[in-house]
Amino acid sequence: MNAEIISVGTELLLGHTVNTDTTIIARELSALGIDLLFSCTVGDNAERLRAALREALSRSDVVITTGGLGPTEDDLTKETVAEAFGDTLHFDEAEWQKIVDFFARTGRGGRTPTANNRKQAMVPTKGHKLPNAHGTAPGAWFEDDGCIAVLMPGVPREMKAMWAEDVRPVLLQRQNCTIHSKTLRVLGGESSIASKVSPLFASENPTAAIYCKTGESEIRVTARAATEAEAETACDARIAEFRKILGPNAYDVDVPGLEYTVVHLLQQKGLHAATAESCTGGLVAEKITNVPGSSEVFGYGFVTYAEAAKAKLLGVDPTLIEQYNVVSGPVAVAMAYGALQASGADLAVGITGIAGPGGALPGKPVGTVYLAGADARSGKAWLMRLELGGYAERSIIRTRAALYALDLLRRMALDIPPENAHPVPSKDVKPETLDI
């Protein structure tokens, strides 16, 4: 099957309301193996909605609308779609009673619905209504000659519940197969990743799609099969192919973010980590502590924004800062080792840099970040210089720096040499060798 989404509402066209419904439905359709061909937004205008609907039905098996199911005169979706399907609407007493009960339960509108709310109790004659347990606007399902129109409310909370309870199960059944999806998270940009694995995107089953995030990408693999087990096996096999090509940069499957992988890895290995941050201002620590159970593996996060704080909390020698500058490799390494010493952790990272928009130094433009990782188990460390200024925005520079720091913790826990990093044999190494 293929599908099309029509979002109805003048407030969407004017930018007064962000259209999150289309994003949600698009992802759900992909998970079902239904191809989304088009999506559009139409204002509260019957003529334009009629034209959009006519075009959509001419080229798609399923047309999904959101919005335009309210009680006002400009809520015209149900009437317009019914007309397109040669259907009529009739007043549903049971639906009206649900609306009355909803008002009484929520205290909405003085606890009693107004006369215009009766419009929401109008339901298809040949089609059928879709219950709305979270609002006053029931949805509708129209079907004729192989074409389906699904009408859902525009309120995301109501739409999501209706989709999960009454729409998705029917569409899944119509697919006559089981759909299973898994998401592989990969460090790096979309274009560079896609160039390495492009042949794997050509398959029709399983399918794969790549989505760009800040500093990383997601590869969503979806398989169709007769059984859930067969579909999952097909997903796993395709993901294994991706991981073989992409190597350690493909770091995990079906996790919300790298911090989850790091915390779970530290838990598995019985390790503790610490952070010493300057330009990221505690962002790495925040990401780690957002993960449930992180207290088992993370106890110390130092935000040493001032030079004096680096000396006082981490034991960074002020002469080191004076000689090499606070944004330097020697200082980053000293911060990492200082975090180890102060916390008693097994692993630590130190970050110092220029997040901008000002603060550039000779030879060190905005976006220059020094990142060091220290390992108490071996006494060794790693140092890398990042050039993130091409991203311009302060928030993006900080976010990407934090991502690199999390990956450094991951690689140290796995004993994998970090990419583009210089090994530091011990904390006693001469500082000038670290001035990269």
- Among 3.40.190.80, 3.40.120.10, 3.90.950.20, 3.40.50.300, name the CATH number for the domain at 258-434: 3.90.950.20
- β-pairing, 139-144 with 207-213? unpaired
184: burial class by Cβ within 10 Å (0-12, 13-18, 19+)?
A: buried
What pLDDT is recorded for position 390?
84
pLDDT digits (tens, 9 = 90+) for 307-335: 999 999 999 999 999 999 999 999 999 99
* Residue 93: pLDDT over 60: yes
CATH 3.40.980.10 residue ranges for the chain: 2-175
Annotate 379-418 with b (16+ C-beta within 10 A) or e (fewer). Answer: ebbbbbbbebbebeebebbbbbbbbbbbbbbbbbbeeeeb
The pTM (predicted TM-score) of the whole model is 0.78
What topology is assigned to 179-253 in CATH?
A: Alpha-Beta Plaits (3.30.70)
Average pLDDT value for residue range 17-25: 95
5 DSSP β-pair partners: 39, 64
pLDDT digits (tens, 9 = 90+) for 354-394: 999 999 999 999 999 999 999 999 999 999 999 998 877 99
CATH number listed for the domain at residues 2-175: 3.40.980.10
What pLDDT is recorded for position 318?
97
CATH 3.90.950.20 residue ranges for the chain: 258-434
40: burial class by Cβ within 10 Å (0-12, 13-18, 19+)?
A: middle
CATH 3.30.70.60 residue ranges for the chain: 179-253
